[in-house]
């Protein structure tokens, strides 16, 4: 088994979290190198693209979250062997990546009114569009999982984005937007959260932070 080290921010979400979850579900040991946001400016130049996540495999660096998702998915049985099912998995992950890339610029809007207008426009437009598309994909794939009728890294990535939207952490994006626009994604979130290894992992994380 290669030696794995994942570098990402020190919170339980974002682009690094599905990678952590896949490795936890697959019982694959890895070094979970978490960088406090306050230390990021000083650390940034040590990464190839000034971005995280970064995965080191026996010291060799791999960047790009979905590439790493596919890699750990293959290592853990959470990525399909079949070409079409793999395309479904990739499509779902790329869809989440697309919408996240549209939301991220609003983090840097300092004027609160400007941020509100930007996020309201996103909610009415792209966020609703992408939620609808993801719900359609879920239904087309059988209604429970995004590919192969079983858990994959695509489910982890969607679950984490929906959890983020529902959490209220994104000011000016209503916490009931998913329930209103794509209720089947809320059911999916509940299905994924209830997976025994995921539930146990977050229980342990909650215990660690007490
Ligand atoms: N395409 C890259 C995007 C990576 C990315 O934007 N990472 C964010 C965190 S989720 C980051 O490093 N932000 C800090 C910065 O840009 O300074 C990927 O999918 O890994």
What residues pair up with 7 in beta bridges, in sequence order? 33, 54
Q: Summarize pLDDT for 22-80 with one digit per residue, the tens.
A: 999 999 999 999 999 999 999 999 999 999 999 999 999 999 999 999 999 999 999 99
Is the predicted pLDDT of residue 210 greater than 80, yes or no? no
- Which H or E run includes 31? strand 31-35
Q: Inter-axis angle of helices 112-122 and 83-103, to 10 degrees?
A: 150
User: Which of 33, 35, 47, 52 to mutate to test ligand 1, by most ligand atoms within 8 A of the CB atom?
Assistant: 52
Does residue 164's CB lie within 6 angstroms of at least one atom of ligand 1? Answer: no
Question: What is the secondary structure of 46-58 as a DSSP string?
Answer: GSTTS-S-EEEET
Does residue 52's CB lie within 6 angstroms of at least one atom of ligand 1? Answer: yes
Q: Give the Å distance between the CA of 138 and the centre of ligand 1.
A: 26
Mean pLDDT of the chain: 97
Does residue 65's CB lie within 6 angstroms of at least one atom of ligand 1? Answer: yes
Helices (H), 57-182: 65-76, 83-103, 112-122, 128-140, 153-167, 177-181
Does residue 69's CB lie within 6 angstroms of at least one atom of ligand 1? Answer: no
* 31-35 and 60-63 strand pairing: unpaired
Read off the pLDDT band of 85 (50, 70, 90): very high
Asked if 4 and 55 count as a contact pair (C-beta separation under 8 A), the reply is: yes
Q: Which atom of ligand 1 is nearest to the CA of 47?
A: 12
Collect all residues with Cβ–Cβ distance below 8 Å to 72 and sequence separation of at least 6.
Answer: 19, 22, 23, 26, 28, 55, 78, 153
Does residue 14's CB lie within 6 angstroms of at least one atom of ligand 1? Answer: yes
Does residue 166's CB lie within 6 angstroms of at least one atom of ligand 1? Answer: no
Q: Give the Å distance between the CA of 133 and the centre of ligand 1.
A: 24
Does residue 85's CB lie within 6 angstroms of at least one atom of ligand 1? Answer: no
Does residue 126's CB lie within 6 angstroms of at least one atom of ligand 1? Answer: no
* 54-57 and 4-9 strand pairing: antiparallel
What is d(CA 30, CA 41) in angstroms, rounded to the nearest whole number?
Answer: 24
Q: Which atom of ligand 1 is nearest to the CA of 68?
A: 20
| Mean pLDDT of the 96-118 span | 97
Is the predicted pLDDT of residue 209 greater than 90, yes or no? no
């Amino acid at each position: 088994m290669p030696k794995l080290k994942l570098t990402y921010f020190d919170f339980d979400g974002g682009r690094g979290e599905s990678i952590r979850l896949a490795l936890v579900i697959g019982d694959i040991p890895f070094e979970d190198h978490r960088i406090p946001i306050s230390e990021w400016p000083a650390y940034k130049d040590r990464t190839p693209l000034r971005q995280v996540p970064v995965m080191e495999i026996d010291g060799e660096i791999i960047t790009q979250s979905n590439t790493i998702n596919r890699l750990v998915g293959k290592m853990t049985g959470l990525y399909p062997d079949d070409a079409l099912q793999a395309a479904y998995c990739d499509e779902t992950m790329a869809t989440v990546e697309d919408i996240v890339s549209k939301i991220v610029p609003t983090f840097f809007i300092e004027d609160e009114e400007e941020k509100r207008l930007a996020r309201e426009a996103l909610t009415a437009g792209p966020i609703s569009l992408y939620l609808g598309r993801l719900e359609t994909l879920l239904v087309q794939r059988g209604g429970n999982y995004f590919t192969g009728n079983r858990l994959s890294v695509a489910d982890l990535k969607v679950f984490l984005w929906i959890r983020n939207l529902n959490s209220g952490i994104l000011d000016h994006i209503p916490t009931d937007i998913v329930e209103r626009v794509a209720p089947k994604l809320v059911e999916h979130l509940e299905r994924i959260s209830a997976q025994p290894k995921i539930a146990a992992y977050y229980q342990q994380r909650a215990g660690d932070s007490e």
